[in-house]
Amino acid sequence: MILQKVKYYTREALHNLWQFKTRHFFSLTIIGLSFVIIGVFLSLSNNLRFRAGELSKNLTVVFYLHKNVTASERGLIEDEVRRSPLVGAVRAVGPEEASDKFVKDFPELKDILLNLNGSPFPASIEASLKDPGLSTEKILQFIAEVRKNASVEDVQFNRDWADKIRSLGRLAEAVGLFLGGILVLASFFIISNVIKLNVLARKSEIEILRFVGATNTFIRIPFFLEGVMLGVAGSVLSLLIVFILIKIFPFYLGSSLGALKEIVGFRYLTPAQALALVFGGGSVGFLGGLSSLARFLRI
């Protein structure tokens, strides 16, 4: 008996979706696009968090030296850095090597470098820290010690970068949820109104069902299902669009952004995020149906 009813509900919901396909196609597109906004920002945030994680795994402090530093002064600083118990490996990077790295990362800007006489980059000493879990305080203490040396002009510590990138990731997520949230709210009203139209279109059928002894639940379930199906289909559509975007975006960007491409990129949504989007779609559909039926199908 229950199986027969489930079959009936599903068939009725699918039949209604097909019967008013133009209306449903437009609402599906809007629901899909709303979830695409969330999906895109989540994927951007995923990438930023991933990059921040990669940076944190390999903590590096770079000491930039004055341009006119002598080889012996450089050797002294290198020794001082190496002596620190926090440091695992030390690498000295000369101005030419820095220049080569820049050309590799930003090939479009190669000509600018060629027009300059010699490398504009200072020599540096890169210190890879032993333990990625070291406290920032200890590291800053170590940096301050080395910085006392007059030959050190500037210091770059990649944990700062990692933190900044992580913040950017959080910001992207928040922007996505905010914009997506507004659009999802719009989707809710769209579903609610589409179901209201469907209820009105099936007024005579609902009346007959009441006269032959249908329960409220029996009459309402197909409409709920319609809402849920629309919501789920919209969110699945959005996942598909996000997947295609992630595939296409690198081709669109080409190599114009150089090393920045790594940061301004997308990463696939995690299974939990994808499931949450689909669940969100279903919930929006269910609530849209609920709000519509509560107002327009009082039996």
Partner 1 sequence: MIELYHVWKQYQKPHWALADVTLSVKKGEFCFITGQSGSGKTTLLKTIYREVIPTEGQIIIGGKNILRIPDHKIYSIRRHMGIVFQDFRLLFHKRVFDNVTIALRVLGAAPRDMKRKAFIALRMVNLHHKIWDYPSQLSYGEQQRVAIARAVVNNPRILLADEPTGNLDPALAHEIFGLFREINKQGTTVVICSHDKELIRRFGGRVLSLHEGKLHGKDSR
Q: Which residues bind partner 1 (CB under 8 A)?
A: 1-2, 4-5, 8, 19, 204-205, 207-216, 218, 299
Q: What residue type is assigned to position 108 of the chain?
A: E
Q: Which is nearer to partner 1, 135 or 204 (CB)?
A: 204
Structure tokens at 49: 């968090």
Q: Could you tell me whether strands 124-129 and 152-157 are parallel, antiparallel, or unpaired per DSSP bridges?
A: unpaired
Residue 35: C-alpha distances to residues 149, 222, 266, 280 (Å): 54, 24, 16, 9
- Residue 19 or residue 29: which is nearer to partner 1 going by CB? 19
Shortest distance, position 214 Cβ to partner 1, whole Å: 4
Identity of the residue, 79 or 207, whose beta carbon is nearer to partner 1 in the bound complex: 207
Partners of 157 in the β-ladder = 61
Closest approach, Cβ 220 to partner 1, in A, equals: 11
Structural tokens at position 65: 């030296």
Nearest CB to partner 1, comparing residues 1 and 116: 1
**Shortest CB 25 distance to partner 1, Å:** 20
Instruction: Tell me the closest approach of the beta carbon of residue 7 to partner 1, in angstroms.
Output: 9
Cβ-based nearer residue to partner 1, 159 or 202? 202
32, two tokens: 């899909």
SS3 assignment for 196-254: HHHHHHCHHHHHHHHHCCCCHHHHHHHHHHHHHHHHHHHHHHHHHHHHHHHHHHHHHHC
Residues 103, 9: Cα–Cα separation, whole Å: 64
